[in-house]
A and B are shown apart, each in its own frame.
Chain A
Amino acid sequence: MNALAEGLGQIADPTVLLCILIGALAGMLVGTFPGLTATMAVALASAFTLSMDPIPGLAVLLTIYVAANFGDRVPAILINTPGTPASICTTFDGYPMAKKGLAGVALTVSAFASAIGTFLGLILLVVAAIPISRLALEFGPAETFALVVFGLTMMVGVSGGKIGKGLIAGAVGLALASVGRDPITGTERFTFGVLELSDGIPFIAVIIGLFGIADILDQMLSYRAEKHTPISNFGRWWPNRSEMKRMVKPLGIGTGIGAVVGAMPAAGGDIAGIMSWAAAKKASKHPEEFGKGSIEGLTAGDTASNAGIGPSVATTLALGIPGDSVMAVVLGSLIVWGIQPGPALFTSQPDLVWSIAGILAVATVLTLGLSLLRLRGVTKLLELKPHYLWTVIIVFCMVGTFAVNNSVIDVVVMLIFGVVGLFMRRHGFPAGPVVLGLILGKLAEGNLRRALEIGGPENILGSPIAVTILLISLAAVTLPPVIDRLRARRAVRRAASTSSNPTDQPLEQKETTIS
């Protein structure tokens, strides 16, 4: 209790609070700007914060981390472009909601889901840091491979009802993941001599292209001045009571998945969000609304991609193993400040742990407040005529993508994927599976090969965790069609007596306009 008072007391300092405010503003700005990631912002800030004391320094770094994970939802909802990879899942339902004139509700729900997710993850950090970090340690190559396979079973879920096209898109994503150096031998594959591709296809460029640029191209080509209703019509801001009620279950699902995935090294909010979105869809009473503007989908994704922050900090502090790329940068600063992460930190410097938890909590509340305040300002921006807006967005996307690696190749990749995304959209191929394949393909291949290098197939089959997860994955793929068929058969039998035909659903109407 003493450590609690001492740790929180250190945050009450005006300098620290100012640092949190600066971090919140910087983080939200970076998050809103597509292409600029939290990792990059924290890395650049750490050059300045190293000369500060640990607590104010951590206040800046951790607040940027939290705030970027709020700011990135805004472009995801309003212009279908994830501000950082963590908000890929926000585009699935957030943007359709905005198109329906519910942008206000979407922004509010997203902000609250993010805040609640962060808080629940934070509670896990405080009460269960050591067990969480043990769990993370259990996940070697074999277990990680199994988890990634489970993630890949979500492919069907993110296909938006078009399973065949979804699987094709997923296969394309997996194929794209094989570009670059072989993870084990280091041999070059499919790079065609382009040096910049030897680390693989630049992921951020792909998502900005597939989601943002593709959408703008689509809007340009199907623009009708008389039919145009700008998104600046935000509609109401607050979700009504029934909408709030529908947020509860996805909040739980999102926190659970976000916490587990967040604790894994190498897996971050992007994967957690997509997995949670697909899981919530399976558990929902209205799965047909997912991808077309479902509050549940929006909540599940945003909760999960933020619930990982706490566990990610926990593994970093308790193991000295960064839970994601942002914490890898923070870890570097911690070591220079003379803070030795490890299980001993929780007994030797409990006040520091409380300070960190306190910083995260204050940052979350402040950022939530800021994002509710600032929302109104965004409206003005979106009232611009669409062709000005498109231009501004395209330029921003190009600059942001260039900034990731200072590389023109990345911008070229972004534009190519913009055109690919347009093609996919016009022909009914969902973009989600491509992204899932691209993120998970690399992890799946690297970890499978690593596991086999270490101990052959026995290494995977001998791990209870890996086998369990693989069996669950198998069930996730095979059971739903079997159950559907049984249900259908029963329905047919029942229908035979009333002579109607309920099995075939009417084909979906094409949303695209072809002139």
Chain B
Amino acid sequence: MNHNTRTRFRRIVPAAAAAAIAAVALAGCANRGGEAAQSGDFPSKSITMVVPYQAGGASDLSARTLAAEMEKKLGQSIVVENRVGGAGSVGLTYLSARPADGYTIGYLPVETVMLGYQGYDIDPARYDLLGQIVSVPATIAVPANSPYKTLQDLIDAAKAKPGTITVANSGAGSIWQAATKALNKTAGVELKPVPFDGGAPAVNAAIAGQVDAVAAGVSETSVAAADGRLRVLAILNDKASAALPGVATAKELGTDVSIGGWGAVGTPAGLPDDVRDELAAAVKAAAESESFVSVIKKSGNLPVYEAPEAFQAFYDAEAKRFSTLFAK
């Protein structure tokens, strides 16, 4: 018995030790980086780009395409790292805790200015902006056989029966749920947002007529709109979209609401000026490159480049808007 226990112990110790070493190594990997930047020769090593969403999604596509173009300009490789969870807050928290030396940059989605009002510890001021790269206008769409032919029909119906007209969205706290709320606020009605588990199931529910309407990004509704399974009532943006020919903006239809997703590139706050200029120039070159523009256009979103200064004003305005939209 004693002998057995000891033999067993001898077998277990190396295994446990190896597991412990692996754990330490993993933890080490997680906290790697952080050497101080030497100005002048930036970048002297590869850069990490944190994407707060799953590989393969729309944000990831934008980030990876941009990273590939930025590499050409910077002459260093950019490693895209997906840090997923908490509606994006895991990746954003990770990014803000990195040293502000320019070797960690990140994809900042619209959620950066929203999550702070939804119980997450995310503060927009923790990031320095390098410029906006993409815009994802919101759309409101109804099933092809819906009685609502125009945005006004939908608003009138919501006025007649407050809280019963259902509008699907991709999830609780998503930008598309916020879009429904923004529409409610502007039009003074009460459409009922129904959160689904992702954009595709939400659009699916609208096509099948299980909900009255869906609020989703242009890229999500344009496919079903093209073959007539969905009718897009309005684009909630200042400009019409090439992906949805003939669909008017909400502003043109008399309900002045403009809301949607966007994507930008940022770093932890406190970046040295010369490093920031270098990176911002690379973002500009990449975001305006032919291949980036064509990939984003094909995905149904809008390639929109805004320089850091102009974008900062919009970013602050968005943060303010969501503070009132999510106030209870």
Binding site for B on A (CB under 8 A): 39-40, 42-44, 46-47, 50, 136-138, 140-142, 181-188, 195-196, 198-199, 220-221, 223-225, 265-266, 319-322, 328-329, 331-332, 335-338, 340-344, 386-387, 390-391, 394-395, 398-399, 402, 405-408, 411, 446, 450, 453-455, 515
Chain A residues near B15 (CB-CB < 8 A): 220, 387, 390-391, 394
Chain A residues near B83 (CB-CB < 8 A): 405-407
Complex A-B: 12 CB contacts under 8 Å? A40-B55, A183-B172, A198-B120, A223-B8, A265-B200, A328-B198, A340-B227, A394-B19, A398-B26, A406-B81, A408-B27, A408-B30
State the CA gap A77–B27 with chains docked (Å). Answer: 30
A224: contacting residue among B4, B61, B86, B210, CB under 8 A: B4
Q: Is the CB of B56 within 8 A of A43?
A: yes
Q: Is the CB of B299 within 8 A of A141?
A: no
B194 at the interface (CB under 8 A from A): yes
B1: contacting residue among A47, A195, A515, CB under 8 A: A515
In the complex where A225-B7, A336-B61, A340-B227 touch, is A265 in contact with B201 (Cβ < 8 A)? yes
Q: Is the CB of B23 within 8 A of A411?
A: yes
Chain A residues near B27 (CB-CB < 8 A): 408
Chain A minimum-CB-distance residue to B294: A336
B224 at the interface (CB under 8 A from A): yes
Chain B minimum-CB-distance residue to A390: B15
State the CA gap A198–B196 with chains docked (Å). Answer: 17
Q: Is the CB of B26 within 8 A of A399?
A: yes
Q: Interface digits, B2-19 against A, CB 8 Å rule (1 contact, 0 not)? A: 001101100110110011
Q: Is the CB of B223 within 8 A of A341?
A: yes
What interface size band does chain B fall in?
35 or more
Q: Is the CB of A186 within 8 A of B223?
A: no
Q: Is the CB of B55 within 8 A of A450?
A: no
Binding site for A on B (CB under 8 A): 1, 4-5, 7-8, 11-12, 14-15, 18-19, 22-23, 26-27, 29-30, 54-58, 60-61, 64-65, 80-87, 89-90, 93, 118-121, 166, 171-173, 192, 194-198, 200-201, 203-205, 207-208, 210-211, 219, 223-224, 226-227, 229, 295, 298-300
Of A320, A386, A394, A398, chain B has the most CB atoms within 10 Å of the CB of A320
A196 → B minimal CB distance (Å): 5
State the CA gap A99–B227 with chains docked (Å). Answer: 54
Q: Is the CB of B58 within 8 A of A406?
A: no
Chain A residues near B226 (CB-CB < 8 A): 340, 342
Chain A minimum-CB-distance residue to B166: A454
Chain A minimum-CB-distance residue to B83: A406
In the complex where A340-B226, A395-B22, A405-B84 touch, is A319 in contact with B55 (Cβ < 8 A)? no
Chain B residues near A407 (CB-CB < 8 A): 83, 85, 90
Q: Is the CB of B11 within 8 A of A335?
A: no
B110 → A minimal CB distance (Å): 16
Q: Is the CB of B23 within 8 A of A398?
A: yes
State the CA gap A186–B88 with chains docked (Å). Answer: 14
A335: contacting residue among B5, B54, B223, CB under 8 A: B223
B93: contacting residue among A195, A335, A342, CB under 8 A: A195
State the CA gap A341–B226 with chains docked (Å). Answer: 10
Of B23, B120, B166, B204, chain A has the most CB atoms within 10 Å of the CB of B204
Chain B minimum-CB-distance residue to A188: B119
In the complex where A50-B295, A265-B200, A335-B298 touch, is A141 in contact with B205 (Cβ < 8 A)? yes
Chain A residues near B60 (CB-CB < 8 A): 43
Of A338, A342, A394, A454, chain B has the most CB atoms within 10 Å of the CB of A454
Q: Is the CB of A198 within 8 A of B1?
A: no
In the complex where A198-B85, A198-B87, A398-B23 touch, is A332 in contact with B197 (Cβ < 8 A)? no
Chain A minimum-CB-distance residue to B194: A453
Chain B residues near A342 (CB-CB < 8 A): 223-224, 226-227, 229
Chain A residues near B205 (CB-CB < 8 A): 140-141
State the CA gap A336–B57 with chains docked (Å). Answer: 12
B194: contacting residue among A44, A50, A187, A450, CB under 8 A: A450
Q: Is the CB of A137 within 8 A of B204?
A: yes
Q: Is the CB of B86 within 8 A of A399?
A: no
State the CA gap A266–B211 with chains docked (Å). Answer: 18
Chain A residues near B223 (CB-CB < 8 A): 320, 335, 340-342
State the CA gap A181–B192 with chains docked (Å). Answer: 20
A195: contacting residue among B54, B85, B227, B300, CB under 8 A: B85
Q: Is the CB of B86 within 8 A of A328?
A: no
A338: contacting residue among B86, B166, B298, CB under 8 A: B298
State the CA gap A408–B30 with chains docked (Å). Answer: 8
A220 → B minimal CB distance (Å): 5
State the CA gap A43–B61 with chains docked (Å). Answer: 10
In the complex where A321-B200, A321-B204, A411-B26 touch, is A405 in contact with B19 (Cβ < 8 A)? no
A263 → B minimal CB distance (Å): 12
B54: contacting residue among A43, A141, A446, CB under 8 A: A43
